[in-house]
Amino acid sequence: MKNVIVTGASKGIGYHTALALAVSKCRVLAVARNVYGLDKLKAEECGDGLIEVLQADITKPEGREAVANHFEKIDGLINNAGILIKKPFDKISFDDLQKTYDVNVFSPFLLTQKCMPKFNPFAHIINIGSVGGVNGTQKFPGLTSYSSSKAAISCLSECLQAEFENKDISFNSLALGSVQTEMLETAFPGYKAGVNPNEMGRYIADFALDSGKIVKGKTQMVSNSNP
């Protein structure tokens, strides 16, 4: 049975990714700051006992320590936790930028670093990015901090694969298109995405379990739109 960690699992894509992994008979550690969402996830898991929840702030050293130490060995890490601050470029404060990069870049970087000694052979680490963070795709006003942070996380996946090319571990980034989440609705009120969190969660779970030996060090776009 594989041990897989999912961050940002109290709602949206992370929530449904955790459920899909449990359906595939993985032991899942669902991590988030929102204990209400985690309790709901645990209840929805229907008593199989495969989803374990941990309320933790992974922007803090103690939060990352708690996550990394939960399993004796780790087969998968899905760095899904994210934040989107939509503001005009000249209105983005240093605090906005710091918060965006703390959640979207620094936390997955440092959590992966902390988990490295625990990864089993053929472990698969997935950083959840955005099509908006891929060079050459359509960009939108107000997303300078968000899209640039997602570009960084995609590059990180490629760098880590090169760093550990002598190991069997796989590092990939999934650059997602629009998904009908609370985060999307807050940023773009009234916009209707063609993909829901349940569909995307199943895709991410399948990719995490089945593609690590085939796809390595890549940023794979997962979108039916641009972005």
How many residues comprise the chain?
227
Question: Interior CA angle at 126 toward 157 and 77, to 5°?
Answer: 120
46 has a pLDDT exceeding 70: no
pTM: 0.94
Structural domains present in the chain: 3-222 (3.40.50.720)
Q: For residues 42 and 50, is the Cβ–Cβ distance under 8 A? A: no
Q: Of the given ranges (9-18, 101-110, 131-140), which has the lowest mean pLDDT? A: 131-140
Tokens at residue 71, please? 């399993």
Average pLDDT over residues 137-159: 95
Average pLDDT over residues 116-125: 97
Q: For residues 37 and 98, is the Cβ–Cβ distance under 8 A? A: no
Q: What is the pLDDT of residue 227?
A: 47
Q: What is the pLDDT of residue 87?
A: 96
- Residue 104's pLDDT band (cuts 50, 70, 90): very high
| DSSP labels, 28-60 | EEEEES-HHHHHHHHHHTTT-S-EEEEE--TTS
Cα separations (Å) of 139 from 16, 74, 96, 148, 227?
A: 27, 36, 19, 10, 8
225 has a pLDDT exceeding 70: no
Q: What is the pLDDT of residue 192?
A: 79
- Which segment, 43-47, 112-116, 198-202, 209-213, is predicted with the most confidence on average? 112-116
Please give the DSSP secondary-structure letter assigned to residue 201: H
For helices 12-23 and 35-44, the axis angle rounded to 10 degrees is 30
Q: For residues 78 and 204, is the Cβ–Cβ distance under 8 A? A: yes
Average pLDDT over residues 91-113: 98
- Residue 155's pLDDT band (cuts 50, 70, 90): very high
Average pLDDT over residues 107-135: 96
Amino acid residing at 113: Q
- Residue 185's pLDDT band (cuts 50, 70, 90): confident
- Residue 184's pLDDT band (cuts 50, 70, 90): confident
Q: What is the pLDDT of residue 47?
A: 56
